[in-house]
Chain A
Amino acid sequence: MKKRGLISVAAAAALAAASLVAYAPASNAAAKTITLAFQGPLTGEEAQVGQDELAGMLYAVKLFNAKNKGKYVVKVVRADDQGDPAQAAKVAPGIASNKKVIGLVGAAYSGATIASLPFYKQRNLAMVSPSATRVSITDPAAGAIGFPVFHRVVVTDKVQGPSLFKLATKGVSSPKVFVVDDQSAYGVGLVDYMKPGIPAGQSAGFDSVSDKTTDWSATIAKVKTAGANVVIYTGYFPQAAVFFKQLRDSGYTGVLAGGDGVLSPSFVTLAPASVLEGVRLTAGTVPLADISDKLEADFQKKMGKASGVYAAESIDATNIFLSCVSKGVSTRAAMLKCVKKFKGKSLTGANLSFDKNGDVAGGVMNGFEVKAGKIVFTGPVK
């Protein structure tokens, strides 16, 4: 409730600012104010993901505003959905009915995206998500519920599931794979896309563990009785670090692997380097520092903190809107049209455009490995 209040305050402030601009003399070559919105978890358990993405967006906007001084001023309205569908359904109407907002970066999470979609579709607000990877949003077989407003710059779990399995078992003779999910839609979904690709005899079992778990001894006992030599965790890094640590401490010596939820710069600060050595990770994203150290340094200088997991995607998503803004787009209808037709480059230099369902065209999974307490990019998963 409190957050909703904040947003309406923000909306009111935006309206007030707009009316001030309207009363200014027309001849004044004042910069054109454009408002974009961000939606993701800004408080609560998942706040870090949202805060990191928001920082990516604000970074892109900062660069744009500096470059277009006197021409455009882009403002960002924040919608905090806590990564929670119920919360998303409360904040989305405010964004949808805020006429100043002509584009939305988000939502960060798939569940929250689905809960928000009806409001944005009704009001024709273009969305570009940096990280909502659930396949059904764009899948025509599932009704392509995101069409036409939803787009994403991240590769989906349909690609990640099999890639993660491939990377985890790479070089392991007679792999016996134990897969643990975190009961989130993300974790369970990833396992579902992995399952059909698991060869007969290579599965050692599955477990589904709440993301509130602090003690993993039961799961560890199952891994041991199953005789697994590869353990894949589909969840997020805070739990992954704890799980992997307890698993190694119990004497497990096999492969450890995880998906993009585990790939965070914070992951390696959460467990001793010796424990995480060799952990294999997949992600559609590449950390800013792996794109270029200069970029990461500039990001830290401007934002006052290190970039997070989806920094590159957040910047890419924002840049799509900004490129449309610099083409003179200032309405929702024009923005949606412009995003659909967008053709450009991502931060990594890959071609960036959308297919008709809003998925990024092409797109590959990248492999990473933890080496001496650092996450090292090991190239695309083949």
Chain B
Amino acid sequence: MFGNFLDQFWSLTFGGLSLGFIYILIALGYTMVYGVLRMINFANSEVFMVGTFATIIIIRDVFKFTQTSEYATGPRLWLILGTALIASMLVSGILSVLIELVAYRRLRRMNSGILAPLISAIGVSMVLAESMRIMTDSRPVASPRAMEKSFIGKFFDADIRLDNTIIIVAAIILLAILMAFVNKTRLGKAIRAVSMNGNAAKLMGINIDGVVSITFLVGGLMTGAAGFFYVLKYENSSFSIGFELGIAAFTAAILGGIGNIKGAFYGGLVLGLLETYASFFLGTQWKAVTVFVILVLVLYTRPNGLFGEAMTQSRA
């Protein structure tokens, strides 16, 4: 068994890493909002789901791909991928801002406490998922293949596939931009200020509503990017996809320490790899059990997650 594992180690690792980066981007949607509002935005899973559909619509309806089309190559391929990525990010980002405006803002102004926004979030989530279910007739929707899943090289014995590489490289670039935004810009500083102490930030003249909207926008953009990468890798989506990936990403956020960008990063990577290795060793049926046993063990020893302590420094 262990010999087999070594044989497959690198292909498992690449698969786990690209899945991990998708988790990271969705986890950011949870963690950034939590950092600023101390609230779990359960609707983020549906923001992701809508993002996957945005990508599918771009590939299938705008660029007219079908399951029997020839694959795109060269500049046209990059145009298609770029358009789909930007479209998913924008759709998810805007949706995320709208959700905050409609479902949370008034509750926050009325100092409703923790439970009302939580229920509101679950409600928004159900409305979005069920609306999509009705629109898709409960069926899974496939994205036609626009890009050939070619092997671009070898790492030890493992084939390196183009889609996994694009996901990992593009996600790292997005994360770098996000870190620069949060740490280097005035807006980023405002977000950090609100997250450290909302009242003090308000007294300093920071427009809290504006900061909250920006936070939802940035979280939505990252989650939308995850939607694009998900479709690039798995080429399908369904109304229920948000729930499935959302739980995993939320777990990643908790594992790493919620409210903390670094936590989302390591939580996502650890979860992606752990799921993949555990499935190989124990059988895929034990994946969820393994992951949650490890989550509980981590929380026993570090109740705030792996990076819980660093919260006040780099919380976003």
Contact = CB atoms under 8 A, between A and B. Distances in A.
Contacts of B137: 48, 51, 305
B112 interface: no
Interface stretch (A31-39, A127-135, A151-159, A270-278): A270-278
A238 B277 CA distance: 24
Contact of B19 (A215, A219, A245): A215
B284 interface: yes
Interface of B: 4, 7-8, 11-12, 15-16, 19, 67-68, 133, 137-140, 142, 144-145, 149, 151, 159, 161, 234-236, 238, 240-241, 244-245, 275-280, 283-285, 287-288
Contacts, number: 101
A249 B161 contact: yes
A210 interface: yes
Contact of A238 (B4, B140, B275, B288): B140
Contact of B284 (A48, A208, A242): A208
Nearest to B281: A218
B236 A241 contact: yes
B142 A271 contact: yes
Contact of A251 (B68, B159, B236, B240): B159
Interface string A305-344: 1000000000000000000000000000000000000000
Contact of A218 (B133, B161, B284): B284
B276 A215 contact: yes
Dominant secondary structure at the B interface: helix
Contacts of B287: 210, 213, 218
B234 A242 contact: yes
A208 B138 contact: no
Contacts of A270: 140, 142, 236
B280 A221 contact: yes
A122 interface: no
Nearest to A214: B234
B4 A225 contact: yes
Nearest to A212: B244
**Interface-centre pick from A48, A218, A275 (highest chain B CB count, 10 A):** A218
Interface in A191-216: 207-210, 212-215
Contacts of A208: 283-285
Most chain-B Cβ atoms within 10 A of its Cβ — which of A43, A221, A271?
A: A221
Contacts of A212: 244
A372 B285 CA distance: 33
A246 B164 CA distance: 12
A217 B11 contact: yes
Contacts of B144: 272
Contact of A268 (B67, B278, B288): B67
A266 interface: yes
A373 B8 contact: no
B167 to A, nearest CB: 12
A143 B19 CA distance: 47
A185 to B, nearest CB: 14
A48 B145 CA distance: 24
